[in-house]
């Protein structure tokens, strides 16, 4: 949301999570709107006209409250909130101007309801773990939102919650094995960490994935992870076999470039590593320009 000069009016990095947290526990849309009207100036950027223009602040508060409230997939009780609808033309405008709605915000530009993919990560952060587990078990949460939520938890070192949230979603690799699921696998492996117990759980997950998943981005990710583990153990032959399996399962995976160079460096094949790094850089550059799809040439080994 920008002013006519192009500057941002509000600090959305703070406003979005705080708004969702309040909306999740509000009794109704009216209570939530009242909070937005009081709090919105606190989220204004420096020099934002919202600070000094009460009319703009009122209008913006109503538009923002409606966008968040009508976009919420569920509230803290697990129910879809009743939508915040427009009043009748002659009713007082909800923004608080005391003008009829028809003479006030009815003709103002509206903010479309925020999409569930934007709001779900914040919804998950504001419900009890038991309710979260129920939602995740029912596959109601989009995987893109779960990715963002898991990444947020990892940033705050809440690894146990990541494991609890993601393990059930990766228990059936024969059913879910696309790009998004491969990202979830990567996040779960990060959550396991480097402890002895975590390493065992990670290895078990990776082996199960390679055995049950079909050829897919998910199975490729599992093979890539295994290749790294074997490389760390100095099991060169197993590392290269895992690399080739990963390449077979998802030839266009960009992470293969780094993995191949790392394997070559681990074997002190420095000149070959430089050669492949140059090749991969050129391939990635072509793909970025959109001139061709990301194409993998046969590796040196």
Cβ neighbour number for residue 289 with a 10 Å cutoff: 8
Nearest residue to 282 (alpha-carbon basis) of 264, 299, 294: 294
What's the rounded Cα separation, in Å, for the pair 244 and 217? 14
Q: How many residues does the chain have?
A: 301
Which ranges constitute the DSSP H helices of 156-216? 159-166, 179-192, 196-212
Q: For residue range 187-213, list pLDDT tens digits in order.
A: 999 999 878 999 999 999 999 999 999
Residue 219 and residue 249 in contact, taking contact as beta carbons nearer than 8 Å: yes
Nearest residue to 190 (alpha-carbon basis) of 153, 216, 223, 242: 153
The stretch 164-185 carries a mean pLDDT of 93
- What does the pLDDT read at residue 128? 80
List, in order, residues 6 or more apart from 252 with CB less than 8 Å away: 293, 294, 295, 296
Residue 42 has pLDDT above 90, yes or no: yes
Percent of the chain with pLDDT strictly greater than 90: 57
Nearest residue to 238 (alpha-carbon basis) of 196, 206, 212, 215: 206
Q: For residue range 206-225, list pLDDT tens digits in order.
A: 999 999 999 999 999 999 99
Residue 48 and residue 10 in contact, taking contact as beta carbons nearer than 8 Å: yes
Residue 291 has pLDDT above 80, yes or no: no
Largest CA-CA distance found in the chain, in angstroms, rounded: 78
Residue 111 has pLDDT above 50, yes or no: yes
Q: List b or e across 1-10, with b for residues whose CB sees 16 or more CB atoms inside 10 angstroms.
A: eeeeeeeebb
Residue 68 and residue 9 in contact, taking contact as beta carbons nearer than 8 Å: no
């Amino acid at each position: 949301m920008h002013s006519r000069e192009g500057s941002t009016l509000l600090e959305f990095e703070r406003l979005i999570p705080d708004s969702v947290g309040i909306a999740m526990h509000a009794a109704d849309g009216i209570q939530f709107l009242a909070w937005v009207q009081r709090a919105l100036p606190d989220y204004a950027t420096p020099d934002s006209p919202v600070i000094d223009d009460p009319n703009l602040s009122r209008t913006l508060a109503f538009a923002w409250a409606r966008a968040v409230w009508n976009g919420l997939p569920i509230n803290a009780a697990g129910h879809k909130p009743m939508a915040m609808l427009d009043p009748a033309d002659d009713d007082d405008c909800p923004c608080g101007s005391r003008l009829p709605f028809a003479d006030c915000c009815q003709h103002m530009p509206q903010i479309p309801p925020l999409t569930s993919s934007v709001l779900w990560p914040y919804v998950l952060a504001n419900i009890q773990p038991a309710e979260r587990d129920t939602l995740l078990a029912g596959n109601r949460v989009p995987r893109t939102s779960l990715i963002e939520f898991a990444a947020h938890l990892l940033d705050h070192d809440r690894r146990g919650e990541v494991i609890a949230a993601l393990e059930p979603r990766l228990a059936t690799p024969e059913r879910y094995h696309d790009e998004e699921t491969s990202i979830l696998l990567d996040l779960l492996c990060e959550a396991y960490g480097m402890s002895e117990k975590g390493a065992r759980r990670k290895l078990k997950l990776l082996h199960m994935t390679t055995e049950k998943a079909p050829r897919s981005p998910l199975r490729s990710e599992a093979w890539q992870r295994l290749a790294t583990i074997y490389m760390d153990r100095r099991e060169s032959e197993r590392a290269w076999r895992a690399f080739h399996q990963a390449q077979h399962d998802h030839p266009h995976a960009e992470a293969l470039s780094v993995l191949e160079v790392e394997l070559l460096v681990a074997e002190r094949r420095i000149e070959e590593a430089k050669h492949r790094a140059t090749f991969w850089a050129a391939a990635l550059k072509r793909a970025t320009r959109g001139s061709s799809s990301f194409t993998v040439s046969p590796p040196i080994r």
